[in-house]
Amino acid sequence: MSHASVTFAHRSIDWAIQIPMIASVVNGVSQPMHGRTFASVLEHGFEDGSKPTFDNWCAHFSSIYTDIRLRNTIEIRAMDGLAFEQIPAARAFWTGLVYHQPSVESLWKLFQDRTIEDYQKAQAEVCHKGLEAKYGNDSVRELALEMVQLAKSGLQARVNAGLEQPIVLKYLDPIQEIAVSGNPSPNA
């Protein structure tokens, strides 16, 4: 693991332990946490004096619903409110990216030097500028196009391995069209 990924992991943990807990299961009983942070529970324990377990940490971390939630799997927020022909696009996109090791490695190289601040700034800017926004020094549109190509490579590898039908490559067309045009509405 690179220094950048270790630093990111540490910063993520430091951030997550300061988030108020929703509830926790202690001795088999679910109890509300009344805004207590995981850091407070680490330091002082639960109301009954027991200390948090790794399961308590996992439950807390999985309740923080940002763009990605870590559970037994990685849960990524999908696009919602899609036109009918776009529905399979999200699943095909993420399947192509995360189920193909060369695509995962390329994606990591593409984003490994980004900071949380870069992400937050880009996320805010995308709301106003769409794909014309910047993510660090790069255009969101250029990054989107590159990600679509990585997803296509991943899906093509799965087709070649007999894991997917060739039609899955067409599912990416709506995302590619948006990335190329910058227009989120296919009929506009």
Looking at residue 188, what is its pLDDT? 47
CA-nearest of 69, 67, 70, 59 to 23 is: 59
**Same domain, yes or no: 53 and 97:** no
Cα–Cα distance between 153 and 155 in angstroms, integer?
A: 6
Q: E strands, the chain, where?
A: 23-26, 29-32, 68-70, 74-76, 134-135, 138-139
Task: Quote the number of domains for the chain.
Answer: 2
Residue after which a domain boundary falls, among 75, 108, 133: 75
Q: Does the predicted model carry a pTM greater than 0.85?
A: no
According to the model, what pLDDT value does residue 45 have?
A: 92
Domain edge (last residue) among 54, 75, 96: 75
Helix runs in 3-68, H state only: 3-16, 38-44, 54-63
Give the residue numbers spanning the domain of 158. Answer: 80-181
107 and 45 housed in the same domain: no
Print pLDDT tens along the chain (188 aa): 566 566 767 888 888 899 999 888 877 788 888 889 999 999 999 988 889 999 888 888 878 777 666 666 666 666 666 777 788 998 899 899 999 999 999 999 999 888 888 988 998 999 899 999 999 999 999 999 999 999 999 999 999 999 999 999 999 999 999 999 887 765 54
Task: Verify that 84 and 126 share a domain, yes or no.
Answer: yes
Q: Are residues 88 and 175 in the same domain?
A: yes
Query: Where is the domain boundary, 75, 92, 122?
Result: 75
The answer to the question of residue 120 being in a domain is yes
Same-domain status, 139 and 64: no
In a domain, 45, yes or no: yes
- Confidence (pLDDT) at 96: 96
Q: Residue 76 region, left (φ>0) first, then alpha (ψ -120 to 50), else beta?
A: beta
